Amino acid sequence: MASSWSTLARLPSVPFPIVIAVMLPIAVGGHAAGSAGAAWGLVSGLFTGFVPHLLDRHAKRRRAPSTSTPPRPLTQIAGTTVSLLLGLVIVLAGHAPQPLVACSVVFFALMVAIVSIQRLCSWNISIHGASAGAATSISFLLWGPALGLLAVVLTLLIVMSRVRIHRSTSGLQGHEPLEAVSGALLGAALGGSIYVLLS
């Protein structure tokens, strides 16, 4: 059993934040307004997930591979902020389903919270955990306990994978247990509360 969990925890190659930030808006939009809502979700996902992922990959290419993960450069933060705000403006101006607007606000709030903690507190809280935690809260609210509990399991696996990476790279990548768990809890609390207030 332990070996099975260890195998399942080896998930570093999947870029979970972009997967969640692209697929969750599509699912939320589709749930709210069918195919038209899913199309709006795809538009939103381009700005909440795909563009920030490209910016992150560009920043990583410019970083020395042997160094530990530094705070995100200001240019990447500015570009991500612009992308998230532009996506939010587009869904608002296009009168996209309100749950999708709420989802866009959740991703923007997560970005602000994560970057603030990382830069002001010099604490590498996990964005992988935060995005998974937010998706878990929204899954419970939209689809009930069946999918919500599945999302909990996936979040636990993501947290475990971030800790495993941290240990296997001697702290150069990934996160300490408290950083990974705190990210998931922050995402769940922030994502759930904002979604309830705005959807």
From CA 5, how far away is CA 3, in angstroms rounded?
A: 5
Q: Are 111 and 125 in contact (CB under 8 A)?
A: no
Over the stretch 24-45, which tens digit does the pLDDT of each residue have?
A: 999 999 999 999 999 999 999 9
3 state DSSP class of 2: helix
Q: Give the domain extent around 67.
A: 2-198
Over the stretch 55-109, which tens digit does the pLDDT of each residue have?
A: 888 877 766 555 555 566 778 888 899 999 999 999 999 999 999 999 999 999 9
Q: Pick the residue with more confidence: 102 or 8?
A: 102
SS (H, E, C) 10-55: CCCCCCHHHHHHHHHHHHHHHHHHHHHHHHHHHHHHHHHHHHHHHH
Q: What is the pTM of this model?
A: 0.85
Domain count within the chain: 1
